[in-house]
Amino acid sequence: MSTDLPVPETRVLAVASHVVSGYVGNKIAVFTMQSLGCDVAALNTVQFSNHTGYRQVKGTKVSAQEITDLYDGLKQSYLDDFDMMLSGYIPGAEAVQAVGRIAAELKEKASARNAPGSFFWVLDPVMGDNGKLYVAQDVVPAYKSLLPHADLILPNQFEAELLSDVKITDMASLTRAIEVIHDTYRVPHIVLTSVSVDTATPSSTPPPLNSSTSHKDSDAKTPATLSVIGSTMTSHRRPRAFKIRFPAIDAYFSGTGDMFGALMVVRMREAVTSAAKSLGETESWLSPDDVDAIDLPLAKAAEKVLASMHEVLDATCSSMQVEVEKIETQFGGSKDDTRMHLARSKAAELKLVRHLGSLRDPNVEFKAQRM
Amino acid sequence: MSTDLPVPETRVLAVASHVVSGYVGNKIAVFTMQSLGCDVAALNTVQFSNHTGYRQVKGTKVSAQEITDLYDGLKQSYLDDFDMMLSGYIPGAEAVQAVGRIAAELKEKASARNAPGSFFWVLDPVMGDNGKLYVAQDVVPAYKSLLPHADLILPNQFEAELLSDVKITDMASLTRAIEVIHDTYRVPHIVLTSVSVDTATPSSTPPPLNSSTSHKDSDAKTPATLSVIGSTMTSHRRPRAFKIRFPAIDAYFSGTGDMFGALMVVRMREAVTSAAKSLGETESWLSPDDVDAIDLPLAKAAEKVLASMHEVLDATCSSMQVEVEKIETQFGGSKDDTRMHLARSKAAELKLVRHLGSLRDPNVEFKAQRM
């Protein structure tokens, strides 16, 4: 494992859920960013015993007022000097608005001191998956109202549909959704973290997808290949899109979306730092129009992120299979479905802490392709 | 940095405070244990914007009931399979009792399945420092009542006085305090994390001490050398004491006690794993009577812990000096003492995330000596 850190000193505000046991939300995002050298301020939006995929959970949510208070606490002690912000699951529309106000204020501060590019917000608009909303209805317009402040958003396909009001069924509608997000909502960068339309042969029937967002359990079958689609808009707010196809793993894991977001924070910062110096000083780190889609910092970042994800998921899969066999021997005969489900959920927790090498120096196998 | 992890798969329950920004309590303990390969369940007892050394803070405490609920949440999903537990700051006597019940239950479970040594509790009885209590008076008897369930306690000198009711003024009273903790409270292992009595020349006047516990700010001057004193009791509950002397760093840092506790969890597990196989299966990992004080797993663990601490504090000191100079240029003339204090507090946050090598492979310079 290399001792070189990928990013210069970077102070990140991470706003997401906290679980005592397991790896979703801030519990996985904070460690991921810290182990890559970021100084992370972790504002936890809930404290739950475990993630909701277990189908039973205890704990409490943090109110919108408490989120605002904690941020005021940071401000009064001059601890709000953030370079980046990552936001994940936020419980309810009011809390979403509270987090949006924090991001907007940090953005304004950067602009007031005439330092565009000195603050960058990565927003994962956690709302649902596979056509099912798992937050209250009023969270959707709340997120829409925040989009103009975001630099990079990380919706899954369903969330991209909700934000763009475009039903994604083929490559044309996928492109249309990206256009709306760039043009109507002025979001400079977007990565769709799970796309079920076949990006290899447009207009074919969409296979069912593997989710990569947390806070959700799924029994969907997995296609052999998945795609991540990314785009950085041009100065005319037109898409510059790329896709990265990678082999799917036939298992459902919670927390992958949160790990994806945390890695994107680090790798985006890394890619921008190693690009032309001026890029980091440009608002929203928008590459000049002559930069091709597959040469975008966003594409370079996404390649590394997927490489790390693939290695960690592989490691999780291997240890999970061993665990599940043990569990089946122990409980398989008893027909106690709940007990089996709980044991499987625990076995599927991402195996991160013992695979730091996969975070730091992943082997990049899957490359971005022009769309 | 080595990719070898010091411990086999180890599941730890960490109960302590959480701060959004900075490094005390679980914010430093969880990352420390995770980056050394532990699967950590983090039960946060507060969520504050920052540590109290800043002299202003926003956030909320978690009630005793919420702590119990979160643990019940773990139990109902069979997530209470912990190998070790680390407890730090707990707000109030009721919450201390709630945490004590969790530890006692985990201990009983290990004993019920006839697996002594399969659960080990490291208790940092956070109560005060430098002769000053910074918790409510009724927290002291609450901690006393928990001691019989603890395997290793990590009091500073003042906390050891409170627990043993022995005023520590010289080597004789120090030894007496350790005797009381082993014999009256049946605590198998103790490490006094900051000792001001001169362990080199007994009965000299105690120099003022540098605290190594968190949640406290101090202007005390630092002696040139500090000691950590440890002891593992014999089968007759007699002390087997060692000391490790190390050069003091002339600055106050918050979170060092929490980092010390987290490192002790890992290094104690490591030392016991590499000792005779049967030791890990012995209740409280009590070494046979013929093991000399300086050969104890506790002594080996403490040596490595101090080595890591020393390297991280050194790194923090260096970067802090640069920071403080900048601050003085910026605010020194304004006589705004509050602004200076806040800036200094931020500059003194432990520099951990960019010094993983110091956690993993520290250079052991300071060795345990027989007392």
How do residues B13-45 score in pLDDT, each as one tens digit?
999 999 999 999 999 999 999 999 999 999 999
CB distance A78–B342 less than 8 Å? yes
Helices and strands, counts by H and E, chain B: 10, 12
Facing residue for A37 by CB, picked from B18, B73, B354: B354
B78–A50 CB contact, under 8 Å: no
Choose among A316, A141, A79, A297: nearest CA to B59. Answer: A79
Given a contact cutoff of 8 angstroms between Cβ atoms, the answer to whether A154 and A123 are in contact is: yes
Which pLDDT value is given to residue A296?
98
| CA distance linking residue A104 with residue A276, whole number of Å | 27
Q: What is the mean pLDDT of residues A143-154?
A: 98
CB contact A158 to B (< 8 Å): no
Say whether B50 and A22 touch across the interface (CB within 8 A).
Answer: no
- The confidence score (pLDDT) of residue A333 equals 67
Nearest to B253 by CA among B312, B322, B306, B304: B312
Distance CA B348, CA B17 (A): 19
What is the mean pLDDT of the segment spanning A274-303? 95
End-to-end Cα distance, chain A:
34
Average pLDDT of chain A, as a whole number: 91
B-proximal residues of A, 326-355, CB under 8 Å: 339, 342-343, 345-346, 353-354
Q: What is the pLDDT of residue A334?
A: 66
CB contact under 8 A, A356 and B77: no
Residues of chain A in contact with residue B354, where contact means CB-CB under 8 angstroms, are: 5, 9, 37
Query: Is the CB of residue B37 less than 8 Å from the CB of residue B270?
Result: no
- The Cα angle at residue A57 between residues A51 and A62, in degrees rounded to 5: 80
Residue contact A78–B43, C-beta within 8 A: no
At residue A3, the pLDDT reads 58
- The candidate with the shortest Cα–Cα distance to B56, out of B21, B28, B30, is B21
Confidence (pLDDT) at A199 = 73
Among the partner residues B1, B44, B73, nearest to A3 by beta-carbon distance: B1
A250-279 in b/e form (b: 16+ CB < 10 A) is ebbbbbbbbbbbbbbbbbbbbbbeebeeeb
Strand partners for A87: A15, A123
For residue B307, pLDDT over 80 is answered with: yes
Are residues A116 and A86 in contact, defined by beta-carbon separation less than 8 angstroms? no
- Given this model, what pLDDT does residue A329 score? 86
Q: What are the residues whose beta carbons fall under 8 Å from the beta carbon of B257, sequence distance 6 or more?
A: B88, B124, B126, B154, B156, B193, B211, B212, B213, B214
Beta bridge pairs of residue A47: A18, A60
Q: Cβ contact (<8 Å) for A58 and B47?
A: no
Asked whether the predicted pLDDT for residue A337 surpasses 70, the reply is yes
Checking B322-331 for CB contacts under 8 A at 24+ apart, the result is B323/B347
Question: Residues B157, B151: contact at Cβ < 8 Å?
Answer: no
Task: Supply the pLDDT for residue B334.
Answer: 66
CATH class, domain B11-370, is alpha beta
Q: Residue B47 is nearest to which of A37, A44, A342, comparing CB atoms?
A: A44
Indicate the domain borders of chain A: 11-370
Cα of B180 to nearest chain A Cα, Å = 35
Is the pLDDT confidence value at A24 over 90?
Answer: yes
Q: Pick the closest to residue A318 from A354, A366, A365 (CA basis).
A: A354
Confidence check: pLDDT of A204 > 50: no
In the predicted model, is pLDDT for residue A166 greater than 70? Answer: yes
The answer to whether B73 faces chain A, any CB pair under 8 Å, is yes
Token readout for B366 is 């300071």
Amino acid at position A192, single letter: L
Q: How close A44 comes to chain B (CA, Å)?
A: 8
Q: What is the DSSP letter of B332?
A: G
* Residue of chain A nearest B9, judged by CA positions: A354
Chain A CB contacts of B356 under 8 Å are 3, 35
pLDDT, residue B333, reads: 67
pLDDT digit string, tens, across residues A312-334? 999 999 999 999 888 888 876 66
Name every chain A residue with its beta carbon within 8 A of the beta carbon of B37.
353-354
- State the amino acid at position A43 in one-letter form: L
Using alpha carbons, list the distances in angstroms from residue A99 to A60, A122, B154, B321.
18, 12, 39, 34
CB A105 within 8 A of CB A69: no
Determine, for residues B77 and A346 on separate chains, whether the beta-carbon distance falls below 8 Å.
yes
- Contact between A41 and B58 using a beta-carbon 8 Å cutoff: no
**What are the angstrom distances between the C-alpha of A95 and each of A62, A163, B44?**
9, 18, 21
CB-nearest to A70 from B49, B339, B354 is B49
Cβ contact, residue pair B73, A48, below 8 Å: yes
Residue from the list A59, A74, A356 with its beta carbon closest to the beta carbon of B21: A74
The letter for the amino acid at A199 is T
**For A204, how many CA atoms within 13 A lie in the half-sphere containing its CB?**
10
**A50–B60 CB contact, under 8 Å:** no
Contacts of B82 in chain A (CB under 8 A): none
Instruction: Supply the DSSP string of A138-176, one letter for each residue.
Output: THHHHHHHHGGG-SEE---HHHHHHHHT----SHHHHHH
Q: How far is A261 from chain B (nearest CA, A)?
A: 19
| pLDDT confidence of residue B3 | 58
CA dihedral B97, B99, B104, B107 (to 10 degrees): -170
The answer to whether B345 and B54 are in contact (CB under 8 A) is yes
Q: Which amino acid makes up residue B119?
A: F
pLDDT tens per residue, range A76-134? 999 999 999 999 999 999 999 999 999 999 999 999 999 999 999 999 999 999 999 99
Instruction: Identify whether the C-beta of residue B229 lies closer than 8 Å to the C-beta of residue B242.
Output: yes
Contact assignment for B47 to A47 by CB distance below 8 Å = yes
pLDDT band at B225 (very low <50, low <70, confident <90, very high): confident
Mean pLDDT of chain B: 91
A37/B343 CB distance under 8 A: no
Please classify residue B318 by burial: count the beta carbons closer than 10 Å to its beta carbon, then call 0-12 exposed, 13-18 middle and 19+ buried. Answer: exposed
Q: Which residues of A touch B54 (CB under 8 A)?
A: 77
Q: Which residue has the tokens 């994962």?
A: A124
Q: Give the Cα separation of A86 and A94 in Å (integer).
A: 18
Which residues have a Cβ under 8 Å from the Cβ of B175 and sit 6 or more positions away? B239, B241, B371
Distance from CA of A154 to the nearest CA of B (A): 23
Residues on chain A touching B56 (C-beta within 8 angstroms): 73, 76-77
CB–CB contact B73 A20 (8 Å): yes
Does B42 contact A27 at a Cβ distance shorter than 8 Å?
yes
In angstroms, the CA A99 to CA A84 distance is 14
A266 touches chain B (CB under 8 A): no
